[in-house]
Structure 1
């Protein structure tokens, strides 16, 4: 378990891992793998979400 450095909640979609590398199966001329880097669309690569007004309790 790692220490949380931010009080903002983690992104539900990526669980705090906003950027991943996916191998295509191909290789470069030097033998290294061809990777695609994909960023979480929900949090835009930050790993955190903003608290929305809808999650704040209001009323009785």
Structure 2
């Protein structure tokens, strides 16, 4: 029988695309664009969020 892996819900802020490349508007000497890489602040770069029940337990302090 197959084992079922527990799947975490995808972050609703980034939809699983945790890193965004933002164009800085300048170019390097070789002609490539200078970009900034920014991770999602909501999921901190994981792409997943905790289920609401686990979040509620953390808030209560259990």
- TM (norm. structure 1) is 0.74
CA distance in 1, matches of 2:12, 2:18: 10
Q: Count matched residues.
A: 50
List structure 1 segments (4+ residues) > 4 angstroms apart after TM superposition: none
Structure 2 unaligned segments of length 5 or more: list them.
57-62
- TM (norm. structure 2) is 0.72
CA distance in 2, matches of 1:30, 1:19: 24
Q: CA RMSD in A?
A: 1.6
